[in-house]
Structure 1
Amino acid sequence: MDDFLAARSQMALSLGFHIIYACIGMVMPFFMAVSHYKWLRTNDEVYKNITKAWSKGVAIFFATGAVSGTMLSFELGLLWPKFMEHAGPIFGMPFSLEGTAFFIEAIALGFFLYGWNKLNKWFHWFTGVVVGVSGLASGILVVAANAWMNSPAGFDFVDGKYLNIDPIAAMFNKAWFTQALHMCLAAFTATGFAVAGVHALMILRKQNPDFHYKAFKIAAVFATVCAVLQPISGDLSAKDVAQRQPAKLAAMEALYTTQKPAPLLVGGIVDEKNKKVTHAIEIPGALSFLAHGNFKAEVKGLDQIPADEQPPVAITHYAFQIMVGIGTLLMLISLGYFILLLRKKSILDRKWLLKLFVLAIPLGYIALEAGWVVTEVGRQPWIIYGIMKTRDAVTPMPGIAWSFYLFSAIYASLNVIVIFLLYRQIKMVPVLYNQHKFSSSVKAN
């Protein structure tokens, strides 16, 4: 493995792990805040136990997210020094603000975890809300920095120099809103379905049904609402990419030739050698509408992109198909859930729907990872789109392959530890439930 491939692999591995930890860490506090609020309003001890159980999960993912995020910040300087040399002064502001949001989140989480029976009950609840808001802000700020790499702004590039730097314009670049919206909805969808799926599994196993059903309803509402909104966000993102990064859109759809109108491909096998796609279902004019809002609009293909500026087509296309396919499936599950709610049917009597939520536990995160592959691989060969190529930014330091192997071992170990801690936390739920039943019987007597 050469150093360039090792550097890219290490960054991909780090991002792949961190994105899951970060998304759970920024979404779960909102679930926790809702259950906490329900306890304060109803005095139902089940909601208090749900809040305490979820808060321990939040603590686990905050710690792992902090570790993996810190490693990523060091990797930017270690692996891509040329990139940081030029880009740091331009888009350093969102990273600095992200650090501030992280500190606020850490302080608020400390208050929340250790504030039970010590703080005013509504102030205690408010600290939990601050954990969620600051975590969400942190995620948006990081996405803004990534969006800048896709849509450079806030500077003039003259004779190889970066002049007239405007950090505000860099942070609020043309891509930040669509990317942040799409990412936030994806995080809530993925985490919501994962959490709801775990509780659905416990319901099917008839373990503490009252506890798990109330927890399921909170997570399912977040998941299903965001899953239905996600296609709208996807449409905004597609139109934005079509304007700014036509090469990425062409790779997403494996569009080798410019077409007017252009069909949307569903599935298909990419033949990069012969520059064609086989075994795909074509929807006439749909790509033209998706990209430009007009079924007869022209969509630029890879034939109009210089060969040395074309992204890898097969990887981008397959990742895009996985993301869209899973997103569509989760949306259909959500619509089924809404129909049952409108008909006032009990979810507990619909085992088929609970089983669908169980099957969906990993799907949201698979779609999340696929989406980041589309974003990052689809930008190649650029690290700063249209300005600096990834190969020109890599460190000249030799031996990066060994760093990749070391970080792979670290992340694998971290993942095992997280799974063990979560498994132990789930096993502790019956203890909380039994404590609740005991305290309730004591009060009754």
Structure 2
Amino acid sequence: MDDFIAARSQMALSLGFHIIFACVGMVMPIFMAISHYKYLKTGDEVYKGLTKAWSKGVAILFATGAVSGTMLSFELGLLWPGFMKHAGPIFGMPFSLEGTAFFIEAIALGFFLYGWDRFNKWFHWATGVLVGISGLASGILVVAANAWMNSPSGFDYHDGVYSNIDPIKAMLNDAWFSQALHMVLAAFVATGFAVAGVHALMILKNKNIEFHRRAFFIAATCACIAALLQPISGDISAKDVAKRQPIKLAAMEAHFHTEPYSPFIIGGIVDEENQKVDYAIKLPGVLSFLVHGDFETPVKGLNEFPKENLPPVAITHYAFQIMISLGMLLCLISLIYIVAIWKKRNWLSSPWFLKLFVFAIPLGYIALEAGWVVTEVGRQPWIIYEIMRTKDAVTPMPGIVYSFYIFTAVFISLSTIVIFLLYRQMKMVGKLYDPTDPHFKNNLKH
């Protein structure tokens, strides 16, 4: 492994781990606030126990997210000095604002965790809401910075010189809205299904059923609403990519040849050398319709772009297929959930129904990771689209491969610790917040 591949691998690994922590940090405080609101409105102590249990999980993941996010900040400067030298002054605003949002989130979380029975109850609830709003803002601001890499704006570029810098225009680039919308919904889908699945598993094991049923309902409802909205967001994102990055769209679909009635490709094995996709299901004209609104207009194929500008087609296509396949599967589960809520309430306690959500625990995060592969790999060979190539931004410092090994060990260790802490927290939840336990109300005070 050479240093360039090691640098890219280290960045991919770091982002792959951090995105999970970031999504949990964006969504779990919202779940926590919903549960807390239900407690304040109903006085039901089960919701208070649920809020306290979730808040402890938020604290654990907030800490790990802070660690992984800090590591990413250092990596940008250490691994990609060429990129930061030119891009830092342009897209630094969303990063600085993200730091402010993170600071507010940390303070609000401290207020919430230690504010039970110390603050006015609605002020206390508001601090929890602020944790959620700050978490969402942090995620959106980071995505705005990534969107700038896909749609650079807010500067003039002539002969290698960046001038007339406008940080606001850079932050509010053409890609930020579609990417931010898609990312926020993906965070709710991934985290919501994971949380709902864990609580469904506890219900199947007959552990503290009332507690886990209420938790399941909050998480599953949010996840299913987001999953059904996600295809709309995906269509917005795909049309935006077709306009700004047609080469990425062609790679996503492994669309090698410009032709009328351009087909939408499902599955298949990509043969980049011979520019074809074997064993695929092709829906004639569907890609043309999705991009242009009619079935005949050709979609530009990969054969019309310079070979040196082509991204890794197979990786981009497979990742895109994984993302949309799992997204459609989660939409199907969401429709079943809606039918259960409206028409078939008996399904909600059926083992087969709960097992669906247990099965779905990892699916949202797999789709999320696949989506980021599409976004990042599909942009290659550019680190700033059509401005700076990735190879020109990497550090000249030797020995990056050893840094990659060290960071890999750190992230594996961090993940192991988080899994252990969350598992222990889940076991404690079953003991401390069981309404049938005579010590239940006393446990709620601690």
TM-score, scaled to structure 1: 0.98
Alignment of 1:127-166 (within 5 A): 127-166=127-166
Which residue is equivalent to 2:111? 111
What secondary structure sits across from 2:97 in the alignment?
Answer: helix
In the alignment, what sits opposite 1:349? 349
Tell me which amino acid in the other structure corresponds to 1:157.
Answer: Y
Q: Does 1:301 align with 2:310?
A: no
CA deviation digits over 1:192-241, x for unaligned, max 9? 00000000011111111100000000001110000000000000000000
1:125 aligns with 2:125: yes
Cα distance between partner residues in 2 of 1:439 and 1:78: 53
Partner SS for 1:361: coil
User: Which residue number in structure 2 is paired with residue 98 of structure 1?
Assistant: 98
Deviates more, 1:198-207 or 1:5-14: 198-207
Deviations 1:138-165 (A, max 9, x none): 0000000000000000011111111111
Aligned pairs, how many?
Answer: 442
State the one-letter code of the partner of 1:275: Q
Q: Distance in 2 between matches of 1:398 and 1:373?
A: 26
C-alpha distance in 1, partners of 2:269/2:242? 23
Query: Is the contact between residue 25 and residue 61 of structure 1 (CA under 8 Å) also seen in structure 2?
Result: yes
Partners of 1:156 and 1:164 within 8 A in 2: yes
Q: Is the 8 A contact 1:242 1:292 kept in 2?
A: no
**1:188 and 1:226 in contact (8 A); partners too:** yes
* 5+ residue gaps, structure 2: none
CA deviations 1:250-286 (Å, max 9, x no partner) are: 1000011112121001100001121110011111111
Q: Distance in 2 between matches of 1:27 and 1:391?
A: 35
1:254 maps to a residue whose letter is A
In structure 2, the residue matched to 1:197 is: 197
Q: Which moved more, 1:350-359 or 1:52-61?
A: 350-359
Q: Structure 2 length as normaliser, TM-score?
A: 0.97
* Residues in 2 aligned to 1:441 and 1:268: alpha-carbon distance in whole angstroms: 57
Q: Is the 8 A contact 1:30 1:129 kept in 2?
A: yes
- Which stretches of structure 1, 4 residues or more, deviate above 6 A after TM superposition? none
Please report how far the alpha carbon of residue 29 of structure 1 lies from its aligned counterpart in structure 2 after TM superposition.
Answer: 0.2
Contact 2:33/2:128, CA 8 A, preserved across alignment:
yes
1:292: how far off? 2.1
Amino acid corresponding to residue 138 of structure 2 in structure 1: S
Counterpart for residue 410 of structure 2? 410
Aligned position for 2:374: 374
Please state whether the residue corresponding to 1:413 is helix, strand or coil.
helix
Q: Counterpart of 1:279 in 2: which secondary structure?
A: strand
Say if 1:151 and 1:244, in contact at 8 Å, map to a contact too.
yes
**Are the counterparts in 2 of residues 251 and 378 from structure 1 also a CA contact under 8 Å?**
yes
Partner SS state of residue 267, structure 2: strand
Instruction: Say which is worse superposed, 292-301 or 364-373, in terms of deviation.
Output: 292-301
What's 1:286 paired with? Answer: 286
Separation of aligned partners in 1, 2:346 and 2:164: 61
What is the match of residue 24 of structure 1?
Answer: 24
Q: Displacement, 1:435?
A: 6.3
SS at match of 1:267: strand
**Quick check: 1:325 aligned with 2:321?**
no
Query: Contact between 2:432 and 2:440, CA under 8 Å: does it hold in 1?
Result: no
Work out the CA distance in 1 between the residues paired with 2:236 and 2:290.
9
Match status 1:187 vs 2:178: no
Two-structure CA RMSD over aligned residues (Å): 1.2
Superposition map of 1:60-75 within 5 A: 60-75=60-75
In structure 1, list runs of 5 or more residues that go unmatched: none
The farther-off stretch of 405-414 and 285-294 is 285-294
Secondary structure, in 3 states, of the residue corresponding to 1:295?
Answer: coil
- Secondary structure of the structure 2 residue equivalent to 1:266: strand
Post-superposition offset of 1:349: 3.2
Aligned position for 2:87: 87
